[in-house]
Amino acid sequence: MNGPAWLNWAIFVIMAILSIILLMGKGGFLIAGYNTMSKEKKKRYNEKKLCRIMGCGLSLITIILGISAYYSFELPATISWLLPWGILVVAVIMIILGNTIGKEKNLEA
């Protein structure tokens, strides 16, 4: 990847901080789509669970980017699939879990 190495690590640190905020159950305003919902639609979701789901997913993506930054984005052949496919799989799992576990069970759709 062209660019200074410090920039890769700065992005890693910022994402780690955002992961910690989300894992604490705070930062619903950071979740795209959730922060623009109306109050009626937001009542369908458990914000704390949703934040923790997104925090776990962002933590995994942060770890993948940290591994990639360590190798200067020139990953060994055995884990070269990690950057594109790992992030894609984590993102899909985050969406599925956010729409299943993150919803309140006692409310009607």
pTM of the shown model = 0.84
Residue 59 has pLDDT above 90, yes or no: yes
In total, the chain counts a number of residues equal to: 109
> In sequence order, what are the beta bridge partners of 62?
none
Q: What is the 3-state secondary structure (H, E, C) of the chain?
A: CCCCHHHHHHHHHHHHHHHHHHHCCCCHHHCCCCCCCCHHHHCCECHHHHHHHHHHHHHHHHHHHHHHHHCCCCCCHHHCCHHHHHHHHHHHHHHHHHHHCCECCCCCC
Listed ranges 32-36, 58-62, 83-87; the one with the highest mean pLDDT: 58-62
For 39, half-sphere exposure in the C-beta direction (CA atoms, 13 angstrom radius) is: 0
Residue 92 has pLDDT above 90, yes or no: yes
Position with higher pLDDT, 10 vs 1: 10
What average pLDDT does this structure show over 72-88?
A: 87
